[in-house]
Structure 1
Amino acid sequence: MNRSDISFHSDRSLPFNPDDIKLWIREVIDLENRKTGIISYTFVDDEELLRINKDFLNHDFYTDIITFDEVVDTTINGEIFISLDRIKENSLESGSYQNEFLRVVVHGVLHLIGYDDHSSSEKLLMREKEDNYIELFHVKH
């Protein structure tokens, strides 16, 4: 059975229609020659993401996203936790809460697809991918 589902969990409102975001995520995965599996996004505050970071990764610092990879072959599955507080804070520098939201959402998917951001060249490629896919969202939605 080929299962595919993208879900969003948040007690705060999101800046875009979830159906538009889900369609966009599927487009990104298709363009990367992968299949959409089961992806769960949970939007939390800084303190909840810090707790997850400590409990599961033994990291004691704030972050904007934590991605748990459950990919099977070319099917993209995973759990993605995102701090809406960090997005808001980071958007003060970038200038756009909406674009920062999209950047973090697609960043998680790109990690599941196999992109990393440890080295400077990996960070550059990740940023290029993010920018291209944010542009795609704005063109299509």
Structure 2
Amino acid sequence: MFTERGARNISISITDRSGLAEKKHLKLITLCARKATALLSPGGDVSIAIIDDNEMRELNKTYRKISKTTDVLSFEQNTGGLAGDVAISIETARRRADLYGITFEEEIKRLVIHGISHLAGHTHKKKKEREKMRAEESRVFRAIAGL
């Protein structure tokens, strides 16, 4: 587990619960999360868990009543200085990168940004909200392009 204080004294914790993440990917996730929290201002500490498809399926069953995996889930807390938690399925991220024809690193960046964007209050339920969220995510993605 990595924990550090980023911009605005926000703590960012990264935990690999899957055992599948390489050290270089954990470092990338940490750098990306630091920049995303600075640009999106989620309003508190952020915890990111790298998990496998089985754990993601269980989270989906518990919280969304869906019995399948997904790439990223965010859980807003907004209490006690905690913005919330982000869970990323490393297995789904690898498959999606192949499907989209992008690198695994690009997909990981996209998922970290998307998860933190939710913690900052963005949503994609309605068209206008989705457009605003995508614009913010694109802005952050451009800012971290060199990572």
Global fold match (TM > 0.5): yes
TM-score (norm 2): 0.76
> Percent identity, aligned pairs only?
23
User: Quick check: 1:7 aligned with 2:13?
Assistant: yes
Describe the shift of the 1:12–1:89 C-alpha distance in structure 2 as closer, same or farther (beyond 3 A): same
Task: Give runs of aligned pairs for residues 28-107 of structure 1, distance below 5 A.
Answer: 28-33=36-41, 35=43, 37-72=44-79, 77-96=83-102, 97-107=104-114
* Structure 1 counterpart of 2:39, one-letter code: L
Taking structure 1 as reference, are residues 20 and 61 closer, same or farther at Cα in structure 2, changes over 3 Å only?
closer
Runs of 4+ aligned residues of structure 1 deviating over 6 Å after TM superposition are none
Match of 1:135 in 2: 142
Once the two structures are TM-superposed, the CA of residue 135 in structure 1 deviates from its matched residue by 1.6
What residue ranges of structure 1 are gaps of 5+ in the alignment? Answer: none
- 1:99 to partner: Cα distance: 1.1
Q: How far apart are 1:33 and its partner, in Å?
A: 4.9
TM-score by length of 1: 0.79
Number of corresponding residues: 137
2:42 touches 2:116 (CA, 8 Å); kept in 1?
no
Q: Output the CA distance in 1 between the equivalents of 2:38 and 2:141.
A: 15
Question: Residue 118 and residue 137 in structure 1: after superposition, are their counterparts in 2 closer, same or farther (change >3 A)?
Answer: same
Deviation per CA, 1:39-69, whole angstroms, max 9, x where unpaired?
Answer: 1111111111001111233222321111111
Matches of 2:129 and 2:24, distance apart in 1: 28
Q: Once superposed, what is the RMSD of the aligned Cα atoms?
A: 2.6
Deviations 1:5-62 (A, max 9, x none): 1111112224746455435434333334554x32111111111100111123322232
Amino acid at match of 1:31: L
Query: Which letter maps to 1:52?
Result: L
1:89–1:19 distance in 2 versus 1, CA, 3 Å:
closer
* Structure 2: segments with no counterpart, 5+ residues: 1-7
